[in-house]
Amino acid sequence: MKAGEKIHKSVMLDRCIALLAPSIEKSANPIVIDATLGMGGHAEALLERYPNLLVVGIDRDTEAIKIASNRLAKFGARFTFLHAVFDQMPEVLSELGIKGVDGILFDLGVSSLQLDHVDRGFSYSNSAPLDMRMDKSSGLTARDVLENYSKEDLVKILRTYGEERFATRIVENIIKARSAGTLKTTTDLAELVKASIPAPARRVGGNPAKRTFQAIRIEVNQELKILENALPKALNQLKVGGRLVVMSFQSLEDKIVKQAFASASESKNPMGLPVELEHLKAKYQLVFRGSEGARAEEIETNSRAQSVRLRAIERVAS
């Protein structure tokens, strides 16, 4: 880690460890996958608490991997990492020769590292190139999306991923700006969005650019599609008694997690049978019903915790 590099407090750290603890403690040689490694806060806490634990970190952000690997180097062979997207988890584990794990943690959405590094283009508060890639080594940038997508596709993205009711107005102004060559930075986009939204609507709900930036970022990184692909794969990697813990920070993510967990924990037995057939019983069980948020004390000291929704599920059958 560079001198002066700010380390952010991990959201719901103690609760995540408590939820993973039963799965870790039942195993002589437990393995946990930190599927969104970030700067390594959750991984560090787990490794410090459990001296027999192996943590495998996955992240698509090479900058985050560099910081976390330096931070966790003190744990030696008990920590390993790979540059990958979390829906590649089966391939990652196969490469490492791991056939099942005791716990998996997802900390979804954009990270504090990505928000705080202005040049990444995630923040609407500072001027930067229109990038927004979580993996700077590949893929479309935000500028590629804004410059090349059709009006219809941009409207759909803003409505679907940003739940933006003024999507058509915003996109019409995006089309004009890109034709004029005036859409080059995050500040250009933020000011365009503000000008597109009626004044009364700008006075509520925080920065008016928030929803558009979220929508473009989700499209650039294919976040929701990857999450939909990743959850069934992650569930399949759990040993019996293993747990998957997921933290979401916006409703679209949480809805996907909720639906995946509900489907996995439902019995496949037909209604009306007098007995439940063993092979059709649910292989997974919710650790608690619904979702949990952060405590008021944590929200006071860590603003990122304000919107978190946490869910957990356990594998109960092979």
User: pLDDT (tens digit, 9 = 90+) per residue, 193-231?
Assistant: 999 999 888 887 788 999 999 999 999 999 999 999 999
For helices 167-180 and 186-196, angle between their N-to-C axes, nearest 10 degrees = 130
**Which has the higher per-residue pLDDT, 318 or 55?**
55
Which residue range(s) make up the domain with 132? 118-221
Look at residues 197, 221, 245 and tell me which one is the last residue of a structural domain. 221
Identify whether 6 is part of a domain: no
244 shares its domain with 103: yes
Identify whether 283 is part of a domain: yes
pLDDT score recorded for residue 272: 65
CATH number at residue 49: 3.40.50.150
Provide, rounded to the nearest whole percent, the portion of the chain with pLDDT above 70: 95
211 shares its domain with 234: no
Identify whether 21 is part of a domain: yes
pLDDT score recorded for residue 46: 98
Report pLDDT digits (tens) over 121-130. 998 888 999 9
Q: Dihedral of CA 260/122/69/309: which sign? A: negative
Identify whether 28 is part of a domain: yes
Average pLDDT over residues 250-260: 97
Q: How many domains does the chain have?
A: 2
Question: Average pLDDT over the chain, rounded to whole?
Answer: 92
Identify whether 2 is part of a domain: no
pTM, full prediction = 0.91
Look at residues 190, 206, 221 and tell me which one is the last residue of a structural domain. 221
Identify whether 112 is part of a domain: no
102 shares its domain with 228: yes
pLDDT score recorded for residue 104: 98
Average pLDDT over residues 65-90: 96
261 shares its domain with 296: yes
216 shares its domain with 124: yes
* 11, 247 contact by CB (below 8 A): yes
pLDDT confidence band for 7 (50 / 70 / 90): low
Cα distances from 19 to residues 15, 181, 191, 232, 292, in angstroms, run 6, 51, 43, 20, 12
238 shares its domain with 289: yes
146 shares its domain with 211: yes
pLDDT score recorded for residue 138: 85
244 shares its domain with 304: yes
pLDDT confidence band for 5 (50 / 70 / 90): very low
Tokens of 132: 């927004």
CA angle (41, 43, 48) in 5-degree steps: 100
Average pLDDT over residues 81-97: 96
64 shares its domain with 209: no
176 shares its domain with 196: yes
CATH number at residue 204: 1.10.150.170
Look at residues 168, 186, 221 and tell me which one is the last residue of a structural domain. 221
147 shares its domain with 229: no
pLDDT confidence band for 115 (50 / 70 / 90): confident
